[in-house]
Amino acid sequence: MLSERRLQVLRAIVQDYVGTEEPVGSKALTERHNLGVSPATVRNDMAALEDEGYIAQPHTSAGRIPTDKGYRLFVDKLAGVKPMTAPERRAIQNFLEGAVDLDDVVARTVRLLAQLTRQVAVVQYPSLTRSTVRHVELLSLAPARVMLVLITDTGRVEQRMIDCPAPFGEASLADLRARLNSRVAGRRFADVPKLVEDLPDAFEPEDRGTVSTVLSTLLETLVEENEERLMIGGTANLTRFGHDFPLTIRPVLEALEEQVVLLKLLGEAKDPGVTVRIGHENAHEGLNSTSVVSVGYGSGGEAVAKLGVVGPTRMDYPGTMGAVRAVARYVGQILAES
Amino acid sequence: MLSERRLQVLRAIVQDYVGTEEPVGSKALTERHNLGVSPATVRNDMAALEDEGYIAQPHTSAGRIPTDKGYRLFVDKLAGVKPMTAPERRAIQNFLEGAVDLDDVVARTVRLLAQLTRQVAVVQYPSLTRSTVRHVELLSLAPARVMLVLITDTGRVEQRMIDCPAPFGEASLADLRARLNSRVAGRRFADVPKLVEDLPDAFEPEDRGTVSTVLSTLLETLVEENEERLMIGGTANLTRFGHDFPLTIRPVLEALEEQVVLLKLLGEAKDPGVTVRIGHENAHEGLNSTSVVSVGYGSGGEAVAKLGVVGPTRMDYPGTMGAVRAVARYVGQILAES
DNA sequence: CCTGGCACTCTTCGCATGCGAGTGCCAACG
DNA sequence: CGTTGGCACTCGCATGCGAAGAGTGCCAGG
């Protein structure tokens, strides 16, 4: 186990390195943080920390920089979450309140997060899985063509075009619409399949084919849309990454374009609080030199989606975590209101 | 006026520079293109081309690179549009045909364009301005709460929540829905305002307030949605930009995040064919070292939106233009089918 | 008008050098 | 035993210099 002072030294190294972006030496450390000991002592501590794998030196005669393991310890034990100041909170709230619809909420959230953290922001659209159905609408566009519109309680709308196996009268359509809504409105997505399975039986034989088609399209929509969408922003902040651009930035941009990767990334965060994945803790190779700070957000007590930021492992963890947490909280509020 | 051979020299310079990314000298030129003259002659031509501002040298003793003006001449007079090969066309078509809805069409188009051109792709969602209304749906979610869903012929769906000034019965709602659709279905957006202006008069006084509210929301939606959305992709290709990364790439990323800028950029293209804006021809400063190749696409004969790519001024113009044109054509087909 | 030759200009690269930051180790001290 | 000051050592980095190479401009001759 590391002594108290050594932890302090590690903390100081992380803080200085995050600030200056340069390897930090023993002398600079004692000057900027009054640790009450001499550089020589700090050097001994640093040697110990290096043995343990918390810090490393890029080349023999340079200062030390934290390793992933060092950041991990810093995040877990040495740093709290820096809360937003009151004015910041107000600014967040004001900015988000101007949103007119769900797309706008997500877009504003991305911008806000990117701006606050000066990093790349990723916001997942509220998931349908935990949502409930607000309304299902059926529109007859042609005798054998129906449009299905699904409206969720988070304000999301999905539509599908359906080609019916047989012409379908307005009356039957109205009947189906009414029956469908009385069964599923207000219910959770997960429950829908069971609630509608016997619905075709209530219809005339010639309509059953169409009813089945409509229902299966509905179920498909419920499932498919779990391929959740997300929005990213603040990619220009990648330019603040480091000195060795092209090699670092490219894989990150590539990873960001792969929604699947990002969704998995966000999805991995199980913790109810803010989750931090540092460097090689990220499964995706392109993100091995980045850290991901994410958290769930939701309209009620339950999280319906995730949001977070992607930045260099050398980031201001307390500040970033604070910003991410605060934004998630306010987005949740906005969603609950609408 | 430049002699025929000098134009050939310019063409050769552009082609070589695009290929090698390095300033091209007189000797290399005569070796790679059989111009039938000696390097010395080419040098004279180059001096002339430089006087006219078509090419420049980065430093005194280096080869020449084309200027924006040089690229402009190249695009206008010296190069055609390189058509896609048959297999490429098939691949495009196959890829786009797999799309399930409008979002997917746009997403696939972006991916495709980015991949084909190895540049940043920008695709605007089909605009509502020139669209027609397919259907307007009204849903009663609560006694004094109505949801408006607008469906366009391009498959786009917009929804708005409306708080009514007074409770509004199901019967009235159905009435309004029917009247509304009989008037506006199949009509162009631009014509809608006139078509509905006297609609409140047909209702009982106590319902008129609500009807007006609904109508004004509808009109708002028609207008607001002209703040068109777009999707971008292939940003990882920015890393192929040049050697002097950070300075070049940053403003581009920033510009790409500003939808307004991009929309203006695409909007400027008036030409019915492929439009190319080179370097400083782009109004936005951050894009002064990029070229934008764009074209309109649409489901019918008329263009409903634009798409294009953003890349370094040093790009393969014929190939890029060919790819952009081909993709636009096939997207138009797909939209027309759905 | 084209061509070969030639002197000139600059950039780039390799290499040696000096400097400074930072380390590791050791002996001494409380 | 932990802490401290001292000291030699290691390297990376910036600087300066020289050689090489690519490319140009110009000129005289065909």
What contacts A233, CB < 8 A, 6 or more positions away? Answer: A107, A110, A111, A113, A114, A120, A121, B257
Tens of pLDDT, residue by residue over B22-60, are: 999 999 899 888 888 899 999 999 999 999 999 999 888
**B174 in reach of chain A (CB within 8 A):** no
Q: Amino acid letter at B7?
A: L
Is B139 in Cβ contact with A139 (below 8 Å)? no
Could you tell me which residues are beta bridge partners of residue B231?
B123
What mean pLDDT do residues B107-121 have?
96
> Among all chains, which residue has been given the structure tokens 């939209």?
B335
For A276-325, give the DSSP string.
EEEGGGSSSGGGTTEEEEEEEE-SSSS--EEEEEEEESSS-HHHHHHHHH
A257 with B236: Cβ contact below 8 A: yes
**pLDDT of A242 higher than 70:** no
Task: Decide: A101 and A78 in contact? Cβ < 8 Å.
Answer: no
pLDDT beyond 70 at A245: no
Residue A139: list chain B partners with CB under 8 A.
135, 137, 151
**Span B127-158, pLDDT tens digits:** 766 678 888 888 887 788 888 888 887 777 78
pLDDT of amino acid A128: 65
The lowest-confidence range among A21-25, A175-179, B161-165, B308-312 is B161-165
**pLDDT single digits (tens) A146-171:** 888 888 877 777 878 888 888 888 88
* Measured CA distances, B114 to A166, B109, B118, B308 (Å): 41, 8, 5, 9
Q: Other C-beta atoms within 10 Å of B59: how many?
A: 6
Q: Does B2 contact strand C, using a CB cutoff of 7 Å?
A: no
Half-sphere exposure of B338 (CA within 13 A, CB side): 26
- Nearest CB to A137 within list B134, B139, B254: B139
Pick the residue with more confidence: B298 or B215? B215
Is B160 at the interface with chain A, CB within 8 A? yes
Nearest residue of B to residue A217, measured between CA atoms: B100
User: CA of A48 and C1' of D13: distance in angstroms?
Assistant: 28
Measuring alpha carbon to C1', the residue closest to nucleotide D2 is: A41
Strand partners, B289: none
- In whole angstroms, give the CA distance from residue A143 to residue A128: 31
Q: Chain A: give the shortest CA distance to residue B302, in Å.
A: 23
Q: What is the mean pLDDT of residues B60-82?
A: 94
- The predicted pLDDT at position A241 comes to 76
Mean pLDDT of chain A: 88
The separation between CA A77 and the C-alpha centre of its own chain, rounded to angstroms, equals 24
Determine contact: B91 vs chain A, CB below 8 A: no
Alpha-carbon distance of A207 to A164, in angstroms, equals 10
Q: Is the pLDDT of residue A213 over 80?
A: yes
- pLDDT (0 to 100) of residue B243: 62
CA distance A84 to chain B (A): 26
Evaluate if residue B7 carries a pLDDT over 90: yes
Closest chain B CA to residue A160: B101
Which residues in chain B have Cβ-Cβ distances shorter than 8 Å to A256? 235
How would you label A283-320 residue by residue, b for 16+ Cβ within 10 Å and e otherwise?
A: ebebbbbbbbbbbbbbbeeebbbbbbbbbbbbbbbbbb
User: Choosing among A148, A217, A249, which should be mutated to test the B contact, i.e. which has the most B CBs within 10 A?
Assistant: A249
At residue A169, what are phi and psi to the nearest 5 degrees? -70, 160
Q: What is the full DSSP assignment across B138-153?
A: EEEEETTEEEEEEEET
Whether the CB of A178 is below 8 Å from some CB of chain B: the reply is: no
DSSP letters along A225-273, please?
TTS--EEEE-GGGGGGS-SSHHHHHHHHHHHHH-HHHHHHHHHT--SSS
Task: Name the minimum distance, in Å, from the CA of A147 to any CA of chain B.
Answer: 10
Confirm or reject contact between A220 and chain B (CB < 8 A).
no
The DSSP line for B156-213 is -EEEEEEE-SS---HHHHHHHHHHHHHHHTT-BGGGHHHHHTTGGGGS-HHHHHHHHH
Confidence of residue A338 (pLDDT cuts 50, 70, 90): low
**A155·B149 Cβ contact <8 A:** no
* Beta-sheet strand order (sheet of A290-297): A230-233, A120-124, A305-312, A290-297, A275-278
What 3-state class would DSSP assign to A154? coil
Q: What is the largest CA-CA distance in chain A?
A: 90
**Predicted pLDDT at B178:** 87
Those nucleotides of strand C lying less than 7 Å from any protein Cβ are 2-5, 8-11, 20-26
Q: Is the pLDDT of residue A223 over 80?
A: no
Closest nt by CA–C1' to A38: D4
pLDDT mean across residues, chain B: 88
| Helix axes of A259-267 and A245-257: crossing angle, nearest 10 degrees | 80
pLDDT of A227 = 61
From CA B258, how far away is CA B285, in angstroms rounded? Answer: 13
CB contact under 8 A, A253 and B245: no
B107 touches chain A (CB under 8 A): no
- Tens-place pLDDT, residues A288-321: 999 999 999 987 666 678 999 999 999 999 999 9
CA-CA distance, A270 to A280, in Å (whole number)?
18
Residue B4: other Cβ atoms inside 10 A: 8
The answer to whether the beta carbon of residue A66 comes closer than 7 angstroms to any atom of strand C is: no
**Over 90: is that where the pLDDT of A244 sits?**
no
Question: Average of pLDDT values for B303-307?
Answer: 83
Is B104 at the interface with chain A, CB within 8 A? Answer: no
DSSP A22-41: S-B-HHHHHHHS--SS-HHH
Q: Chain B residue with minimal CA distance to A250?
A: B236
Segment holding B112, helix H or strand E = helix B102-117
Calculate how close chain B gets to A239, using CA atoms only, in Å: 6
